[in-house]
């Protein structure tokens, strides 16, 4: 999964995310470079053409002279976004498009509040996007964005899905291959399954995962998780704390597997994939995984709202989503997308019926309403 700067920041992924290398803060994705920073002019009038919008397309040359910045979580995920959608969009539309990252909510907030918005389209966590709709984020224009190929319920007033992935349990096959963990109860059972286990330890990253896993381990039914009983969850976390290793970025979580430092880990599925592809002797227990998605959003006060909407519409095309999945393992969000995948990559697609039957649904609406309180609980527990 993505890199995880977040303030609660991934998502990387974030919220999705095997890293093959960081993307430079201002990597130019067209042949013409522009500076990152400064509000700048909004550019010429945007003519996106007549007739209904078609997902995955943009009028040739429609954004010539328009400067744009796309922001995401870095690593193989953002490189995949660049190759699958951002570069082709720049070529087709004529926009001069640079990339920035990683996504940082504090920076986005500062841009909006100072009326100096230089980020045009931002990849964010879905919980944060729901909480900031009509605040830091503006409503999307669905006369420009064709959402007809997005799975039902995933497009919201201020966001559309960027991709889908999972928060999963990975375990060392060398140590547990004959008796693998079957779910989060085993993850927290340090007597039957001794060894170190890794979880997200970023105090600014209150997100679905650790609390839900701890409650499931303590016997709470999946359909009774919300509202989260944080005190009960923290008792489970406290009992396992001597065995816990904390990671703060997606890259760190992957490295813990590749180095063999931990025997189990709760991490983003893309990071687990990256470690396994690189030869780490781990497997994923998909039972009780948490489905997650990143979202594409547009900050309030963006330089050219129409251009931002056009980029999102292009990104959501079937061909773009197919290539993104082939490059990153993250599940496509266009129902017509049919990526060509090898056996390992196919096993990480989270949107098949078989995988969805193993998922524990996350109540994103509850999280959006309670994220600030959860952030306090989480940071206090980490510091205790």
pLDDT tens track for 80-120: 999 999 999 999 999 999 999 989 999 999 999 999 999 99
Residue 273 lies in a domain: yes
Residue 120 lies in a domain: no
CA distance 256 to 233: 24
* Residues 353-369, mean pLDDT to the nearest whole number: 92
Q: Is-contact 24 34, C-beta < 8 A?
A: no
Residue 269 lies in a domain: yes
The total domain count for the chain is 1
Half-sphere exposure of 242 (CA within 13 A, CB side): 6
Helix or strand (DSSP H, E) at 252: helix 250-258
Q: Is-contact 252 271, C-beta < 8 A?
A: no
> Which one-letter DSSP state was computed for residue 139?
P
CA distance 89 to 94: 8
CATH number at residue 254: 3.40.190.10
Q: Which residues span the domain enclosing 193?
A: 166-289+375-383
pLDDT tens track for 244-280: 999 998 889 999 999 999 999 999 998 999 899 999 9
Q: In 227-360, which ranges are continuous DSSP H helix? A: 230-240, 250-258, 269-277, 305-315, 318-328, 343-346, 353-356
Percentage of the residues of the chain whose pLDDT score is greater than 70: 89
Residue 358 lies in a domain: no
Residue 188 lies in a domain: yes
Residue 233 lies in a domain: yes
Residue 214 lies in a domain: yes
CA distance 15 to 27: 22
Token pair of 352 as six digits: 């098949």
Token pair of 160 as six digits: 């559309």
3-state SS, residue 32: coil
Residue 81 lies in a domain: no
With a cut of 50, say whether residue 2 has pLDDT above it: no
Question: Helix and strand tally (H, E) in the chain?
Answer: 15, 8
Token pair of 252 as six digits: 């760190």
CA 278, 289, 212, 194 torsion: positive or negative? negative
Of 56-65, 144-153, 262-271, 374-383, the poorest mean pLDDT is in 374-383
């Amino acid at each position: 999964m993505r890199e995880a700067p977040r303030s609660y920041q991934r998502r990387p992924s974030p919220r999705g995310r095997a890293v093959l290398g960081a993307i430079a803060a201002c990597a130019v994705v067209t042949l013409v470079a522009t500076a990152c920073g400064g509000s700048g002019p909004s550019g010429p009038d945007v003519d996106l053409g007549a007739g209904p919008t078609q997902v995955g397309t943009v009028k040739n040359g429609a954004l010539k002279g328009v400067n744009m910045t796309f922001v995401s979580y870095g690593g193989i995920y953002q490189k995949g976004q660049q190759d699958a959608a951002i570069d082709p969009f720049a070529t087709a539309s004529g926009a001069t498009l640079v990339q920035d990252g990683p996504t940082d909510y504090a920076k986005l907030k500062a841009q909006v509040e100072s009326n100096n918005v230089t980020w045009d389209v931002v990849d964010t966590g879905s919980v944060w996007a729901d909480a900031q709709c009509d605040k830091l984020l503006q409503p999307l224009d669905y006369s420009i964005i064709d959402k007809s190929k997005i799975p039902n319920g995933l497009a919201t007033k201020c966001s559309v899905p960027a991709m889908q992935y999972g928060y999963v349990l990975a375990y060392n096959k060398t140590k547990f291959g004959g008796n693998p963990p079957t779910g989060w109860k085993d993850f927290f059972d340090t007597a039957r399954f001794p060894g170190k286990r890794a979880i997200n330890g970023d105090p600014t990253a209150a997100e679905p995962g650790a609390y839900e896993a701890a409650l499931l381990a303590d016997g709470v039914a999946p359909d009774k998780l919300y509202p989260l009983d944080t005190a009960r969850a923290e008792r489970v976390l406290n009992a396992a704390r001597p065995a816990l290793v904390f990671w703060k970025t997606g890259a760190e979580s992957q490295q813990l597997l590749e180095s063999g430092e931990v025997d189990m880990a709760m991490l983003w599925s893309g990071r687990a994939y990256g470690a396994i592809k690189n030869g780490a002797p781990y497997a994923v227990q998909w039972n009780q995984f948490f489905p997650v998605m990143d979202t594409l959003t547009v900050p309030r006060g963006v330089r050219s709202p129409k251009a931002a909407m056009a980029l999102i519409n292009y990104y959501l095309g079937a061909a773009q989503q197919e290539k993104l999945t082939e490059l990153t393992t993250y599940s496509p969000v266009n129902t017509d997308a049919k990526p060509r995948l090898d056996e390992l990559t196919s096993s990480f697609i989270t949107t098949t019926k078989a995988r969805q039957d193993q998922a524990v649904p996350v109540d994103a609406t509850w999280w959006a309403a309670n994220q600030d309180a959860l952030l306090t609980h989480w940071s206090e527990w980490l510091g205790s």
